[in-house]
Copies of this chain bind each other. A is one copy, B any other.
C-alpha cells in the first residue's frame, strides 16, 4: 500500500504549512479506488457571504473546565470563585469569567473559520449577554460577513464573520465580529471581494437588580476597597503588579476548549517547516493571553465589576510562546453613568498585555494584546 508512506498532514500548495487535510482512501473489492483529501476546515475560497456555519460538538460547562481555564489567569473577582458571594448578588451560581465565555465560543468556531488561518486580526463589538454557569451548554454559529482576497499575496485573504454563542435555552451569551487572515487552498482559485453588513444581534449584559435589602456590605471585605467606580478617573493609568509565566501547559489548556488549531499543539508539523510558522514554534492560543490579561488586571480594576459589557475592538499585537511572562496595564478612558442603574457606573478602559523579549542584552517590552473594554462597576455608595 504506497499510501502509507505519504506524509501525514502535508501542506497544500499555497497554504504554507498551517493547513491540514485528512486523507481518505476509498476501496472496492479490497483495492484502493480513490484517494480523497478531505480538507479540515475551510479555506478562503470556501467562504460564501451570508452563509451561516453551525459549529460542531457544543460544550457543556463543567467544574473541570472552569477550574482549568479560570484559575491560571489569577483573576480575583469573587463572582467567579465564591458561590456565597455570587448568590448574594442575585446570581444563580458563580459566573464564568468573560474570558472563558469568549474562549469557549471562539474555540467552537475554529475548525470552520480559522483552522486554516495565518493570523487572527481583530475582534470587533464583542458583547456579553446572559451569565454562564457550570452546567450550561454552549453552542455557536458564525455568519460570513465578508471575504477580501489579498491584493499582494494570492495565497491569502481576510474573512470577516459574526460569531454568536447561545446557551441551552437558546439565549445569547456572547456575540462578536472577527476578522481573520485565511489561507487559500488553491492559490489560483478565484475569490471575489464581497461583504454584507452585520445584522443586529440582541445581546446585552444581564445584570441582577440592585436590592437595598440585600446585605451587600457583609461581603465587601472579599473584594478590594479601592476598586469601586468612585475610585477611577478618566486618564488614570494602572500598571498591574503581577506577572505570570506561561508554560507548555498551554497545549492542554487549548485542548480543554475543544480548539482544534494545529499551530497550538502539533510540534511535528512545526518542525517540518519552522520558517513558515510565526516564531518557528508552537504559538499560544490567543484566548490564553486574553483571559490572562483580564485576570492579571482584575484585582486593580475589575474585582468590583458585575460584568463586562462590550469589547469595542481587540487584537493580539504580538505572538506569545511558552516561557514568556505576561504583564498587563489598564488605562481608564471614560467613567460614565449606566442608565437606570444608579448603583453602577461604566468604565471604558484600554487593557494592554505585554511581555519582555531579550534584545541586545536587555529586556525589551513588547505589547502582545490590546482590548478596548467596558465594564459595569459597583459604586461604593451602594455596596460598601
Is A251 positioned at the interface, with any CB of B under 8 Å from its CB? yes
Contact check, A268 vs B241: say whether CB atoms are below 8 A apart. no
Contact check, A255 vs B71: say whether CB atoms are below 8 A apart. yes
Is A312 positioned at the interface, with any CB of B under 8 Å from its CB? no
**CB-CB nearest in chain B for A295:** B255
Of residues 11 through 35 on chain A, the ones whose CB sits less than 8 Å from some CB of chain B are 20-32
CB distance from A286 to the nearest CB of B (A): 18
Is A168 positioned at the interface, with any CB of B under 8 Å from its CB? yes
- CB-CB < 8 A to A257: which residues of B? 71
Determine chain A's interface SS by DSSP, over half rule.
Answer: mixed
Is A356 positioned at the interface, with any CB of B under 8 Å from its CB? yes
Q: How many copies does the complex hold?
A: 3
Contact check, A56 vs B237: say whether CB atoms are below 8 A apart. no
Contact check, A82 vs B64: say whether CB atoms are below 8 A apart. no
Q: How long is the Cα–Cα vector from A241 to B237 in the complex, in angstroms?
A: 46
CB distance from A227 to the nearest CB of B (A): 10
Contact check, A57 vs B81: say whether CB atoms are below 8 A apart. yes
Contact check, B243 vs A137: say whether CB atoms are below 8 A apart. no
Q: How long is the Cα–Cα vector from A57 to B299 in the complex, in angstroms?
A: 10
- CB-CB < 8 A to A135: which residues of B? 83
Q: How long is the Cα–Cα vector from A340 to B26 in the complex, in angstroms?
A: 28
Q: How long is the Cα–Cα vector from A21 to B153 in the complex, in angstroms?
A: 47
**CB-CB nearest in chain B for A297:** B22
Contact check, B249 vs A262: say whether CB atoms are below 8 A apart. no
Which among B76, B139, B238, B243 is the interface contact of A269 at CB below 8 angstroms?
B243
CB distance from A312 to the nearest CB of B (A): 20
- CB-CB < 8 A to A81: which residues of B? 57-60, 258
Which among B23, B28, B64 is the interface contact of A233 at CB below 8 angstroms?
B28
- CB-CB < 8 A to A65: which residues of B? 63-64, 67, 71
- CB-CB < 8 A to A85: which residues of B? 58
Number of A residues contacting the other chain (C-beta, 8 Å)?
101
Which among B3, B54, B251 is the interface contact of A245 at CB below 8 angstroms?
B251
- CB-CB < 8 A to A221: which residues of B? 54, 56
Which among B59, B266, B271, B363 is the interface contact of A268 at CB below 8 angstroms?
B363
Contact check, A245 vs B260: say whether CB atoms are below 8 A apart. no
Q: Known: A248-B247, A258-B81, A325-B268. Is A224-B74 also a contact (CB below 8 A)?
A: no
Which among B23, B57, B76, B300 is the interface contact of A239 at CB below 8 angstroms?
B23
Among A1, A94, A245, max chain B CB count under 10 A is at A245
Chain A contacts to B: CB under 8 angstroms: 1, 3-6, 8-9, 20-32, 38, 40, 54, 56-60, 62-68, 71-74, 76, 78, 81-85, 94, 134-135, 137, 139, 168, 221-224, 226, 233-245, 247-249, 251-252, 255-258, 260, 262, 265-269, 271-272, 282, 300, 303, 323, 325, 327, 329, 332, 354-356, 363, 365
Instruction: Give 30 CB contacts A-B under 8 Å.
Output: A1-B237, A4-B329, A8-B354, A8-B365, A20-B242, A22-B300, A23-B239, A23-B241, A24-B300, A27-B236, A32-B235, A38-B300, A54-B222, A57-B81, A62-B66, A63-B63, A64-B66, A64-B67, A68-B68, A74-B260, A84-B137, A84-B168, A242-B260, A244-B255, A244-B265, A245-B266, A249-B249, A249-B251, A268-B327, A269-B325
